[in-house]
Amino acid sequence: MAAVLRRGIKFISFGSSQVFSGGCKHGKTSTLSSFSSSNRNSSSSSKIKVDLDSSTGIAVMKFQNPPVNSMNLEFLTEFSIGLEKLELDKSCRGVILTSAQPKIFSAGLDILDMYGKTPEHYEEFWRAVQDMWLKLYGYSKITIAAINGSSPAGGCLVSMASDYRIMADNPRYRIGLNETQLGIVAPFWFKDTMVNTVGHRTTELSLQFGLMYSPSDALKIGLVDQLVPEENILSTATETMTKWLDIPDHAREISKSMLRKPTVDRLLASRDADIKNFVSFIAKDSIQKSLGLYLTMLKQRKV
Ligand SMILES: CCCCCCCC/C=C\C/C=C/C(=O)SCCNC(=O)CCNC(=O)[C@H](O)C(C)(C)COP(=O)(O)OP(=O)(O)OC[C@H]1O[C@@H](n2cnc3c(N)ncnc32)[C@H](O)[C@@H]1OP(=O)(O)O
């Protein structure tokens, strides 16, 4: 994690980058950006590009981990650190999450991080997955997912952990928690996030079948909030963010926390046990065999 911090995340800032005067209503004071000019240096290994417009308070985090934005250890670490930095930056009030890869928001967790590795690796990986979710689901600022492509499993988790979901209305895209299709199980906090989003019964069916929804079906069950033509997704996300920014921060933040804290606390109270469960589950021969088969099918384009 420290190594990633040292390498730095690519921050591009425009608008009034230092002294913030606009868009910061409701008691938010002017501030120096916490991204010093040296933090804005770009890193060629960066997997997430961050643009912060301090004149509007809106940041865009663009996933750029080709080919499919799979969330490996490095990506997850950068994601958590990037969120943390923006949370500490008083000139940022909301974050839009989107993808730089065509057709894919995120392919979910990197299966290669869960296949053929050591228990120590699984432990480190799972802690990074937990860190990312804890940060995003409990995030104090506004988050909008601009889902401009397919979003299976971990990609769907990131979308659900955001405050609002806008999906590109392309019938070829899919979103859902498909873990059972891989022969694995969505952990309780993935399940909790889905229950909180679409309700218990829909989650029962979704999780057991590993259902992947088209954008229109996702809208019907409330897995996403809005569909827009693909070319309008970022402008719609920005307009939507502006409406969220009209709400006083402290009131919105407390309301969000009231709704989400019990779910966050459940994982916080059992992080080590959850990691232990993951490691013993994923290292099982039968599970490794399932993942191996799924990877083969992926390579043969049969998934
Ligand atoms: C008792 C309870 C204990 C609890 C234990 C808990 C255990 C739970 C553990 C984990 C939860 C898991 C969460 C996840 O997120 S698992 C990941 C699920 N993701 C998927 O199933 C997506 C699979 N991918 C696809 O469907 C497609 O790739 C696509 C729709 C995303 C993109 O399609 P397309 O554009 O056609 O690209 P390709 O299929 O050709 O893929 C390109 C390239 O990328 C590789 N790849 C795709 N997805 C992944 C991935 N998630 N991880 C790693 N690699 C991936 C794919 O194999 C291709 O590789 P190449 O052949 O070498 O080019």
Mark whether 109 is an active-site residue: yes
298 lines ligand 1 (CB under 6 A): yes
Mark whether 32 is an active-site residue: no
Determine, yes or no, domain membership for 31. Answer: no
137 lines ligand 1 (CB under 6 A): no
- Cβ 159 vs Cβ 183: under 8 Å: no
Closest residue by Cα to atom 43, ligand 1, is: 67
Size of the chain, expressed as the number of residues it contains: 303
pTM for the model: 0.89
Query: What is the domain range of residue 79?
Result: 48-302
Structure tokens at 113: 């991080």
**Residues ≥6 apart with Cβ < 8 Å to 203:** 191, 194, 195
**Residues ≥6 apart with Cβ < 8 Å to 272:** none
Mark whether 154 is an active-site residue: yes
Determine, yes or no, domain membership for 272. Answer: yes
Structure tokens at 217: 């079906």
pLDDT in tens, 115-166: 999 999 999 999 999 999 999 999 999 999 999 999 999 999 999 999 999 9
Q: Which helix (H) or strand (E) holds 238?
A: helix 233-245
Mark whether 179 is an active-site residue: yes
Gap between the Cα atoms of 65 and 197, Å rounded? 27
Determine, yes or no, domain membership for 199. Answer: yes
**Whole-number percent of the chain with pLDDT over 90:** 84
pLDDT in tens, 70-99: 999 999 999 999 999 999 999 999 999 999
Q: How much distance in Å is there from the Cα of 293 to the middle of ligand 1?
A: 12
Determine, yes or no, domain membership for 33. Answer: no
Determine, yes or no, domain membership for 6. Answer: no
Determine, yes or no, domain membership for 39. Answer: no
- Counting the structural domains of the chain, the total is 1
CATH number for the domain including 171? 3.90.226.10
State mean pLDDT over 277-296.
98
**How sure is the predictor about 301, in pLDDT bands with cuts at 50, 70 and 90?**
confident
Write a three-state SS string for 186-218.
Answer: CCHHHHHHHHHHHCHHHHHHHHHHCCCECHHHH
In order of 86, 183, 250, 257, the CA distances from 209 in angstroms are: 37, 11, 40, 31
**Whole-number percent of the chain with pLDDT over 70:** 85
**Residues ≥6 apart with Cβ < 8 Å to 278:** 122, 126, 187
- Cβ 58 vs Cβ 93: under 8 Å: yes
Q: How much distance in Å is there from the Cα of 108 to the middle of ligand 1?
A: 6
Instruction: Count CB-CB contacts under 10 A for residue 302.
Output: 8
Determine, yes or no, domain membership for 42. Answer: no
- Strand 94-99 to 58-63 pairing: parallel
Which member of 52, 109, 207, 291 is catalytic?
109
Gap between the Cα atoms of 106 and 142, Å rounded? 20
149 lines ligand 1 (CB under 6 A): no
Q: Which helix (H) or strand (E) holds 96?
A: strand 94-99
Determine, yes or no, domain membership for 35. Answer: no
Structure tokens at 121: 């690796």
